[in-house]
Amino acid sequence: MSLRVGVTVFPGSCDERDAARAVELMGAEPVELWHADADLQGVDAVLVPGGFSYGDYLRPGALAARSPVLSAVAAHAAAGGPVLGVCNGFQVLTEAGLLPGVLRTNRTLRFRCEDARLVVERESPWLPGVAAGETLTIPSKHHDGCFFADPGLIEAMQERGQVLMRYAHNGNGSVGAIACVTSERGNVAGLMPHPEHAVDPLLGSTDGRILLSGLLALAGAAAAV
């Protein structure tokens, strides 16, 4: 039986179709999760995709983080279930307190659209078969992707191994060029670049498959417990 991956949908989400298609290409079954329902329909993993949930009102991700579906996602994460947040999904997970730090307006104040090169900091279940120091290329498109946390939190995150990847070129001005982080427990991860846009050789990179296979591997491991 294939694994089932929930893809959250908020008013203003725009990458949920690509995310669902990428999940399918990886051999899993995507399940749309509507923002107003606090019901994960028994999925094995959750992907919070990009977009501009609730119009980015107040702060990006702030209102989605307080929606009914996120309370169910938080319960899933607390039980050890894997959750991946991409772009607006990363913002949602930080606002929900499932990931450390916050995403702020890019240092340049410009929307950036580019292939991000991400240098892998450490081996991780999120990056199967990838060694520290390797570089992944994953497309990136955002206005509010500048990762921020105070120096004490950054140091603690580094000591606990929560920094997974850093930008080779830090276009959005993130503190320490941090691009991808995990929760303390390691079952929640987030990044601004879009793995779901990098799954087909026709479009350049297939490095996005690595993170998605990590999500599925973690889901398989959690389901086997």
Partner 1 sequence: MRVVVTVRPRAGILDPQGEALGRSLRGLGHAVSEVRAGKVFDLELEAGSPAEAEAAAREIAEAVLSNPLIEDFEVTVGGAVGA
Strands 146-148 and 45-48: unpaired
- Residue from 87, 95, 142, 197 carrying the catalytic annotation: 87
Q: Smallest Cα–Cα separation from 167: which of 181, 186, 149? A: 181
Handedness of CA 64, 121, 131, 115 (dihedral sign): positive
- What does the alpha-carbon distance between residue 38 and residue 58 come to, in Å, rounded to a whole number? 22
Is residue 104 close enough to count as binding partner 1 by CB under 8 A? yes
Q: Using CA atoms in the order 35, 39, 40, 42, what is the torsion angle rounded to 10 degrees?
A: -160
Number of residues that bind partner 1 (CB under 8 A): 16
Tell me the per-residue interface mask from 145 to 174 with partner 1, x by CB under 8 A, - otherwise: ---xxx------------------------
Is residue 59 close enough to count as binding partner 1 by CB under 8 A? yes
Is residue 137 close enough to count as binding partner 1 by CB under 8 A? no
Is residue 66 close enough to count as binding partner 1 by CB under 8 A? yes
Is residue 102 close enough to count as binding partner 1 by CB under 8 A? yes
**Residue 119 burial by Cβ neighbours in a 10 Å radius (0-12, 13-18, 19+):** middle
Is residue 72 close enough to count as binding partner 1 by CB under 8 A? no
Catalytic residues: 87, 194, 196
Q: Where do contacts with partner 1 occur on this chain (CB under 8 A)?
A: 58-59, 62, 66, 95, 101-102, 104-109, 148-150
